[in-house]
């Protein structure tokens, strides 16, 4: 796909990756984009690179606008390899006057590529760079989601090059939010937030406040993945506010793996208890549901009921995978309980409970275990567990404040 003009003398020159299906354990069934932006002024400036295998496509797109060797400045907003993998080749080709990056960006570029000879120009929050008629202001966004991350704001045009914030993993030939289905767009944006930025939610809240205080009022938000926001900027900013506060609905997730359907029977009975208390719930059998889709549903869930059969004195392997992934993303303000069936030892429920406790999840009881297949009275206890979890989640919905970093 060739370049796309997004405003006078400003172009998207990124690439589409239609085939990628996994991004660090996050499923990407509709691919992604690696967005790069070219600003043509007295000083021609390229904002961000692309993943290394796509460098030739990037260079070909640039060449349709200007000779790549005419580029004066290269701005590196983020050093992760899906953006910086092509940077060494680009620097060698264009020989820029300046490689603009944050203090940690310089360190990380040197650590990655061992190129101390590059013409680094280090910027911090509030610094500006004149391109001619246009001016770039910089805003460091450390740990959103790497220590080197920053955003670049084209002040005259009010375009925010937002790096990995406000993006989506979604390959589409359309380049703007008003050219795609809004519900699908926000679903992709929610999945992106839940699987990449959730653990940095306190920092997201600080960023939103900092943007408001700084007077930045973008008419476009141009992220490094997905489409460019030009119509519903208020919508994505509002969504980030809601997601970062982790506001919960009357909604529960029942996440489980089962061996001979006993734990599955327990899951269904727990769902009945939730229903009786007016809670919506969704069942996720880990054999058929991907961890990253479950994390997306977790954004607005108030209760998590997590169950596993016991195998070899532990939980089912796919459950261990789910909990490891979930623990790293640090969901906040949830109520939970563990459940599961066992044959002769039954350690899985205790292990799940311990992991949930480590995550700061408010536990309802010590977990519910059933030996072999659940009897009528066992299923009644499962129903009651669902009811208790719903009640506790409603109590907690009065919003525990997010932990401060």
Q: Where are the alpha helices (DSSP H) in 39-152?
A: 55-63, 81-84, 87-94, 103-113
CA atoms within 13 A on the CB side of 72: 11
For residue 7, what is the enclosing H or E element?
strand 4-7
Active site residue 92: no
Confirm if 251 and 301 have CB atoms less than 8 A apart: yes
Q: Kindly report whether the peptide bond that precedes residue 145 is cis, defined as omega within 30 degrees of 0.
A: yes
8-state DSSP, 372: S
What is the pLDDT, as a whole number, of residue 184?
97
Write down the H helix ranges in 197-283. 201-214, 233-245, 262-276
Active site residue 80: yes
Burial 216-236 (b: 16+ CB within 10 A, else e): eebebbbbbbbbbbbebbeeb
Hey, which bits of 261-402 come out as E strands?
280-285, 303-308, 310-311, 314-315, 335-342, 362-363, 368-371
Residue with tokens 């509030």: 126
Whole-number average pLDDT of the chain:
93
Q: What is the pLDDT of residue 398?
A: 53
| Calpha distance 154→169 (Å, rounded) | 24
Catalytic residue list contains 82:
yes
Predicted confidence band of residue 401 (pLDDT cuts 50, 70, 90): very low
- Given a contact cutoff of 8 angstroms between Cβ atoms, the answer to whether 229 and 168 are in contact is no
Residue 325 has pLDDT above 50, yes or no: yes
Task: Inform me whether the pLDDT recorded for 297 exceeds 90.
Answer: yes
The residue annotated as part of the active site, out of 83, 145, 169, 332, is 145
Confidence of residue 247 (pLDDT cuts 50, 70, 90): confident
366 is catalytic: no
Q: How confident is the model at residue 284 (pLDDT cuts 50, 70, 90)?
A: very high
Question: Among the options 17, 48, 164, 277, which is catalytic?
Answer: 164
For the question of residue 184 being annotated catalytic, the response is: no
Neighbours of 168 (CB within 10 A): 27
The per-residue pLDDT for range 188-244, each reduced to its tens digit, is 999 999 999 999 999 999 888 888 787 788 999 999 999 999 999 999 999 999 999
- Which residue of the set 17, 225, 264, 277 is catalytic? 225
Span 117-162, pLDDT tens digits = 999 999 999 999 999 999 999 999 988 888 899 999 999 999 999 9
Structural domains in the chain, sorted by start = 4-245 (3.60.15.10), 251-394 (3.40.50.360)
Does residue 41 carry a catalytic annotation?
Answer: no
What tens digit of pLDDT does each residue of 154-178 get?
999 999 999 999 999 999 999 999 9
Q: Which residue of the set 11, 26, 34, 192 is catalytic?
A: 192
- Model confidence over 356-390: pLDDT tens digits? 999 999 999 889 898 999 999 999 999 999 999 99
Q: Which of 80, 157, 177, 224 is catalytic?
A: 80
Catalytic: 168? no
- Specify the residue for token string 């246009």: 134
Print burial letters for 305-335: b (CB count within 10 Å at least 16), e (below 16). Answer: bbbbbbbeeebbeebbebbebbeebebbbbb
164 part of the active site? yes
Give 228's DSSP letter: B
| Residue range 70-74: mean pLDDT, rounded | 98
- In whole angstroms, give the CA distance from residue 368 to residue 142: 42
């Amino acid at each position: 796909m060739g370049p796309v003009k997004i405003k006078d003398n400003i172009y998207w020159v990124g690439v589409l990756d239609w085939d990628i299906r996994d991004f660090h354990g996050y499923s990407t069934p509709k691919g992604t984009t690696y967005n790069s932006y070219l600003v043509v002024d007295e000083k021609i400036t390229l904002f961000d690179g692309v993943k290394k295998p796509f460098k030739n496509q990037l260079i070909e797109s640039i060449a349709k606008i200007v000779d790549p060797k005419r580029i004066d400045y290269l701005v590196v907003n983020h050093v992760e390899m899906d953006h910086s993998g092509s940077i060494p080749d680009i620097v060698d080709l264009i020989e820029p006057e300046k490689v603009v990056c944050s203090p940690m960006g310089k360190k990380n570029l040197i650590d990655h590529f061992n190129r101390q000879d590059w013409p680094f120009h280090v910027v911090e929050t509030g610094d500006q760079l004149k391109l001619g008629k246009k001016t770039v202001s910089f805003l460091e966004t450390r740990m959103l989601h790497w220590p080197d991350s920053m955003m670049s704001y084209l002040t005259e045009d009010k375009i925010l090059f937002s790096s990995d914030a406000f993006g989506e993993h979604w390959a589409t030939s359309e380049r703007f939010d008003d050219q795609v289905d809004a519900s699908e767009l926000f679903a992709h944006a929610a999945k992106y937030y839940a699987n990449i930025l959730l653990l940095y939610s306190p920092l997201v809240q600080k960023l939103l406040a900092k943007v408001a205080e700084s007077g930045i009022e973008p008419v476009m938000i141009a992220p490094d993945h997905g489409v460019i926001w030009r119509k519903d900027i208020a919508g994505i900013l509002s969504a980030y506010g809601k997601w970062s506060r982790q506001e919960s609905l009357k909604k529960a997730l029942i996440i489980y793996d089962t061996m001979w359907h006993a734990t599955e029977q327990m899951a269904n009975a727990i769902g009945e208890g939730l229903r009786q208390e007016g809670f919506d719930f969704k069942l996720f059998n880990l054999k058929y549901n991907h961890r990253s889709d479950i994390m997306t549903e977790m954004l607005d869930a108030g209760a998590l009921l997590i169950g596993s059969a016991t195998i070899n004195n532990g939980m089912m392997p796919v459950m261990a995978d789910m909990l490891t992934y979930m623990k790293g993303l640090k969901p906040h303000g949830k109520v939970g309980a563990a459940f599961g069936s066992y044959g002769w030892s039954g350690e899985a429920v205790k292990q799940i409970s311990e992991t949930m406790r480590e995550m700061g999840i408010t536990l309802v009881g010590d977990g519910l275990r059933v030996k072999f297949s659940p009897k009528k009275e066992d299923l009644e206890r499962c129903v009651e567990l669902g009811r208790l979890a719903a009640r506790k989640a409603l109590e907690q919905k009065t919003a525990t404040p997010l932990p401060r970093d």
